[in-house]
Structure formats: structure tokens, C-alpha cells
């Protein structure tokens, strides 16, 4: 188990802006990595209700269970490495694997047994060091949708916000209200469910 504080700024991109940034930072296709996130919540969206998010991420053959919780500055991430068997069990409808993450969820007054697998989001990710932070360009695929996003991960919130704003201004990219991936995923899932109910 490990914990880290995540401070990041993000902005949804048009495809042309995404391609512009790939070119500007000389990022070729072979520099991108594929990662897949598998999202979990209760049928009542109890984790979302307390501002938390739970996922398994498969990256470079390693499965990591991560709980994200809001804190005063950024998000607190609790990571728990899973065996492939444990990850498959959870993805096939099994319970959350015992450990630190399940304990924290209980502490949020949410019963881990109620948590269910909701679906997955696949991302082609490119990362470059940029002004004492990490600049991330993502192309994400989920529920018949594709979107593009730039993220800037930093350790200092004040200087990071300023540098991110300057970057967007430099490339004439408007600041857009940007939900995190799990919220975009859930909003899309609700859209689909509502669409199915209407037809």
C-alpha cells in the first residue's frame, strides 16, 4: 500500500489542439503508452457522492487498485497492487480485495460488499517533463466516445496553475471546464442509460 498527494490541472482539448501539442513537444506514436482504467462504485454512486473514485489500472502488466479522495489541496490517492487473479476476481463481479483500500471505504461508511464494476476506459498516454512538472496528453476511449485532454501534474499548486495557464495561452487553447475521467465516464454511462430508457 502507498499513498500520494495528486495536484493536477486539466483541460479538455479539440483533436486539432491535441495534435498541435503532440507536434510541439515532438511526441511520436511509439512514445505513447496504453493504460486501461476499470471503474467501481455502488449502484447508488456512494463513492461519487463523497467525492471519491475507485479504479483498477492495468499498466505495463501491473494491476493497481486506487482510491482517490478529495483533500484540501488536490486528491489523496491510496494504491494497492493486486495480483492478476485478484484483479480478475473484482472485474468478474467479486468483492473488493481486503486491504487498506477496503478499510478506507468502510471508514467512509460505505460497505465494500456493495461496490460493483461499472466499466472501463482505455487511454493512449504521452508524458513529457515540463517546467518542474509532468505534462500528460491523453486520448481516451470509452462507451463509444473518444476525447482528448491535457493534464499537468505538479507538486506546487500555485506555480503549477500559473505555468498551465501560460501553456494554454501560448497555444491559444481556451480554458474549458473539465471533469476528471471517471466523472466523464459516469456522465456518458448515464446518457446511454437515459437514451435506452427513451427508446
The domain limits of the chain are 2-198
Predicted local confidence at residue 59, as pLDDT = 87
Predicted local confidence at residue 197, as pLDDT = 53
Per-residue pLDDT of the chain (199 residues; tens, 9 = 90+): 688 888 999 999 999 999 999 999 999 999 999 999 999 999 888 998 999 999 999 988 899 999 999 888 778 999 999 999 999 999 999 999 999 999 999 999 999 999 999 899 999 999 999 999 999 999 999 999 999 999 999 999 999 999 999 999 999 999 999 998 988 998 888 888 777 654 4
Contact between residue 173 and residue 132 where contact means Cβ atoms under 8 Å apart: no
2-198 is classed CATH 3.30.420.40: no
Cα separation of 169 and 77, whole Å? 30
Instruction: Return all residues near 28 (Cβ < 8 A) that are at least 6 apart.
Output: none
- Alpha carbon separation from 80 to 45, 83, 87 (Å, rounded): 22, 10, 11
37 - beta bridge partners? 57, 121
Predicted local confidence at residue 196, as pLDDT = 62
Amino acid at each position: 500500500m502507498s499513498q500520494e498527494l495528486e495536484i493536477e490541472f486539466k483541460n479538455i482539448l479539440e483533436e486539432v489542439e491535441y495534435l498541435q501539442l503532440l507536434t510541439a513537444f515532438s511526441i511520436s506514436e511509439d512514445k505513447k503508452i496504453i493504460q486501461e482504467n476499470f471503474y467501481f462504485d455502488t449502484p447508488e454512486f456512494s463513492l461519487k457522492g463523497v467525492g471519491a473514485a475507485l479504479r483498477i489500472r492495468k499498466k505495463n502488466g501491473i494491476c493497481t487498485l486506487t482510491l482517490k479522495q478529495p483533500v484540501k489541496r488536490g486528491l489523496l490517492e491510496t494504491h494497492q497492487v493486486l495480483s492478476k487473479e485478484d484483479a480478475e476476481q473484482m472485474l468478474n463481479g467479486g468483492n473488493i480485495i481486503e486491504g487498506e483500500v477496503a478499510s478506507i471505504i468502510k471508514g467512509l461508511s460505505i460497505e465494500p460488499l456493495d461496490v460493483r464494476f461499472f466499466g472501463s476506459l482505455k487511454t493512449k498516454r504521452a508524458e513529457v517533463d515540463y517546467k518542474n512538472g509532468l505534462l500528460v496528453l491523453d486520448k481516451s476511449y470509452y462507451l463509444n466516445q473518444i476525447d482528448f485532454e491535457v493534464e499537468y501534474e505538479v507538486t506546487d499548486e500555485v506555480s503549477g496553475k500559473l505555468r498551465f495557464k501560460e501553456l494554454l495561452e501560448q497555444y491559444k487553447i481556451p480554458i474549458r471546464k473539465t471533469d476528471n475521467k471517471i466523472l466523464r465516464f459516469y456522465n456518458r454511462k448515464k446518457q446511454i442509460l437515459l437514451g435506452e430508457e427513451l427508446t
